Amino acid sequence: MDEQTPKEKIVEFFKSLNWPEMVFEDNKISCPSGDIVLFDGKNISINFHFYNRTQNRYEKRNNRQTLIVTDKVDPSNILSVRFRGNGYDISWIDYIRNILSIDESFSKIKILTTGKKILRKTAEKIIQIPESIFLEMAEDAHEVYRKGKSSKNRLETYLINKLKLKYTNKTPKETTTVAKGDFSFMIERFNLKSKNKKKDYENHLDLEDLKNLEYFTEKLIKDEAFSPDFLRSLDEYFIKEKLKDIILVGKEILALGKTDMSTDKAKKVIEKITDDGSDIKQLENLWQKFFEKYLLYLVFSYKKIYPKIEFKNIEGDKKYPDFIGINHYNGLDVIEIKTHLKNAVTWDASHKNFSFSSELSRAVIQTMNYMDAVMQRRFLNDPDEKKITNMTEEENLYHPRGIIIISSDLRLTKSKLNKAKEECLKRDFTKLRNSLQNIEILTFSEILQIADDYVKNIHAQYE
């Protein structure tokens, strides 16, 4: 039996619809609402009508371009029955029109047997698509439909499971409700060039989203799911680039020669470290804000930093240390911050040596009081006590460490120094620091220098 021609396949396709009052002629197929198919030499033109079974009438679809196929194109690959048998259409036309941005300025779509690219003939209001490309697009469109429907079902399953927990208090069985490729959709949506500031992401991500992203990213890194090159780039960003920027900001604060926060230099630094435009009026508060934001980068042993945990039964007006840090061994540090303009030591002329300045002495006593409050669990608020005790181990609560950050290399003392005094200063400051049990004294210069050396060492290893 001879293979059917495209014309014969077209006739068979429309006869299979079983619509009443259709007329099949040699040069056309028509219905009461107009001509459906025109056979014109080497081309077949198809217009789109549908039969309304409820109202028993034909209607022309005005929102569809005329389809033209050459007499060598198999129409069964191009047309499909839709609308529950009440109509026919170009296969996956809604998707294809979106892919190719076909609007009403085009009145015809022509499918060719040859060609390697899509042509837009604007003057003729026609778009020409090679059959091979059309079939590939139709297959891709079907995949879009399949994945879209599947993703919708998975999303509904996920949301319904959350409602089960809400209304029945029963935890549903955990299932993976995503498929390969789903994650790319979300990532690409959040990776738009228009999203380049923190607030741009906050418009679309709530706190739960961010926490889950943090947990998932950390897990991917620990499980070595990322490529070595990507992990290396992370190291370079956080260690070399991010930390370098942090060090520069710290040095800008260190360069402030007075406590006045209304100067242009001070305002520029404040602007760099405050996301919310906070008005900082004291130098000590500026350093506190700096460390609140960057302490985890500058002191690499901490896994969590808590600012201003209040205690009860503390002498003095200030009832809280600047920070409590929990290190990776679950040890606890009480951190007190002064400013780089405060002197750490003073010259004792009678004994010809240096001793702690009154500012540093008060800071030491204050830190000891806070450490004692930790050991006795004199937390003012129960939630604070719970989050601190959950992060550390019982025995570590009885052995906290104190860290005081004060002064700088250039301002250790206000005394005038000669060469002999300089040597004495270095020796005495080292002795004084080593004399304290469980309290470490660091200058702002040392904090920044440690970070700077860390960057250089890592960079040298990469080189």
Band of pLDDT at residue 413, cut at 50, 70 and 90: very high
Per-residue pLDDT tens digits for 173-222: 766 666 777 777 777 766 656 656 777 777 777 888 888 888 888 888 88
CB atoms within 10 A of CB 19: 19
What's the pTM? Answer: 0.57
pLDDT of residue 456: 82
Grouping H, G, I as helix, E, B as strand and the rest as coil, residue 392 is coil
Lowest mean pLDDT among 208-212, 333-337, 355-359: 208-212
Element (H, E) at 157: helix 131-168
Band of pLDDT at residue 402, cut at 50, 70 and 90: very high
For 105-127, what is the mean pLDDT? 92
User: Does residue 458 or residue 375 have the better pLDDT?
Assistant: 375
For 354-375, what is the mean pLDDT? 96
Is residue 67 within 8 Å of 105, Cβ to Cβ?
no
Is residue 200 within 8 Å of 193, Cβ to Cβ?
no
For 8-15, what is the mean pLDDT? 93
Name the nearest CA neighbour of 109 among 130, 132, 88.
130
pLDDT over 60 (residue 85): no
148 strand-pairing partners: none
Band of pLDDT at residue 142, cut at 50, 70 and 90: very high
- What average pLDDT does the structure give for the chain? 88
For 448-463, what is the mean pLDDT? 77
pLDDT of residue 83: 60
For 378-402, what is the mean pLDDT? 90
404 in the Ramachandran plot: left (φ > 0), alpha (ψ -120 to 50) or beta? beta
128 strand-pairing partners: 110, 119
Q: Write down the domain spans for the chain.
A: 6-143, 148-222, 232-462
* For the chain, counts of helices (H) and of strands (E): 15, 19
Question: Which tokens sit at 99?
Answer: 């892919």
For 142-151, what is the mean pLDDT? 87
**Ramachandran angles phi, psi of 214, nearest 5°:** -60, -50
Q: Say what percent of the chain tops pLDDT 70.
A: 93
CB atoms within 10 A of CB 234: 14
Distances in whole angstroms, Cα of residue 136 to Cα of each of 36, 74, 109, 141, 182: 26, 15, 16, 9, 22
pLDDT of residue 110: 95
| Sequence-separated (6 or more) residues with CB below 8 Å from residue 212 | none
Name the nearest CA neighbour of 32 among 46, 22, 40.
22
pLDDT of residue 190: 67
pLDDT over 70 (residue 460): no
pLDDT over 70 (residue 387): yes
Question: Which tokens sit at 356?
Answer: 């702690």
CA separation for the pair 176, 182 (Å, rounded): 12
Distances in whole angstroms, Cα of residue 379 to Cα of each of 143, 305, 386, 387: 59, 16, 9, 11
Band of pLDDT at residue 459, cut at 50, 70 and 90: low
**Ramachandran angles phi, psi of 101, nearest 5°:** 55, 50
pLDDT of residue 137: 94
Distances in whole angstroms, Cα of residue 187 to Cα of each of 19, 184, 192, 271, 350: 48, 5, 9, 30, 69
Question: Which tokens sit at 455?
Answer: 């960057």
CA separation for the pair 371, 369 (Å, rounded): 5
Question: Which tokens sit at 311?
Answer: 């205690």
pLDDT of residue 213: 85
| Sequence-separated (6 or more) residues with CB below 8 Å from residue 272 | 249, 252
Q: In this structure, what DSSP letter does residue 405 have?
A: E
CA separation for the pair 183, 185 (Å, rounded): 5
pLDDT of residue 463: 54
| Sequence-separated (6 or more) residues with CB below 8 Å from residue 318 | 366
Per-residue pLDDT tens digits for 289-316: 999 988 888 876 788 899 999 999 998 8
Band of pLDDT at residue 152, cut at 50, 70 and 90: confident
Half-sphere exposure of 114 (CA within 13 A, CB side): 0
For 151-163, what is the mean pLDDT? 83
